[in-house]
Amino acid sequence: MRLAVLLLLALSTTAQAKEQPPAVERFVRRMVEQHGFERKALEETLARARVRQDIIDKISHPAERTLNWSQYRRIFLTDRRIREGAAFLRRNREALRRAEEKYGVPPRIVTAIIGVETFYGRIAGKDRVLDALYTLAFHYPKRSRFFTSELEKFLLLAREERLDPGKPRGSYAGAMGLGQFMPSSYLEYAVDFDGDGRRDIWKNETDAIGSVA
């Protein structure tokens, strides 16, 4: 009898832990009705998301502060960044040339943006994008509307690109890839610049160059 009671309590606790905020049900219903998502699969995807208090703390008290040019210069114009930028230019010369020809953006500008955003992919963020956007959409009321929209766009791009939504990593705010695109920016600007059928802004420097340009 005692074992049965303990099992019931455990099951009850598990069920409560998986309860979602009412906003999640509204979100699921909208994704099903507007975008044709399969309800059960979407609910399972969202159930995999972890609510991250550390992400809420970071976005509530960001480490970034307003800097003047001399302070920015010390951060970004280091010998190592200059060497890495020159190496990026050399190994991607052809992709950068094509990007300038197609979009009119000089190679040095594209290279500088990627260098500032992620140090050429070295600092692209380690947080699961699903966790970040879920947390901020449903547990950070101050920016809920914005991040709910970004979560919607993220799920759409994951479906389009046939990605497991639990795999992509990015910043604590959900920015992704070498150029740190939010999902809405990805859908708007990401391109398959090497013609392999995918828009990979995480590991494919050619796609990242075309997308940033």
Q: pLDDT, tens digit, for every residue of 112-123?
A: 999 999 999 999
Say if 177 falls within a structural domain: yes
- The reported pLDDT for the residue numbered 11 is 47
Per cent of the chain over pLDDT 70 is: 90
Structure token pair of residue 104: 């009119």
Say if 189 falls within a structural domain: yes
Say if 188 falls within a structural domain: yes
User: Of 120 and 63, which is predicted with more confidence?
Assistant: 120
CB distance 46 to 20 below 8 Å: yes
Structure token pair of residue 111: 């290279």
State if pTM tops 0.85: yes
Choosing from 84, 117, 150, 205, which is the catalytic residue?
Answer: 117
- Residue 79's H or E segment, with its range, is helix 79-91
DSSP label of 181: B
- What are the two backbone dihedrals, phi and then psi, of residue 123, each rounded to the nearest 5 degrees? -125, 70
Say if 117 falls within a structural domain: yes
Per the structure, the count of domains in the chain is 1
User: Of 33 and 17, which is predicted with more confidence?
Assistant: 33
Instruction: Flag the least confident range among 73-77, 132-136, 150-154.
Output: 73-77
Query: For the chain, what is the mean pLDDT?
Result: 91
Structure token pair of residue 63: 């480490």
Say if 72 falls within a structural domain: yes
Q: Which residues of 95-121 are buried (b: 16+ CB within 10 A; e: fewer)?
A: bbebbbeeeeeebeebbbbbbebbbbb
188 is catalytic: no
Per cent of the chain over pLDDT 90 is: 81
Say if 88 falls within a structural domain: yes
Domain with 51 in it: 36-58+67-212
Q: Where are the beta strands (DSSP E) in the chain?
A: 127-128, 169-170
Give CA–CA dist 55/57, Å, rounded. Answer: 5
Say if 24 falls within a structural domain: no
Say if 2 falls within a structural domain: no
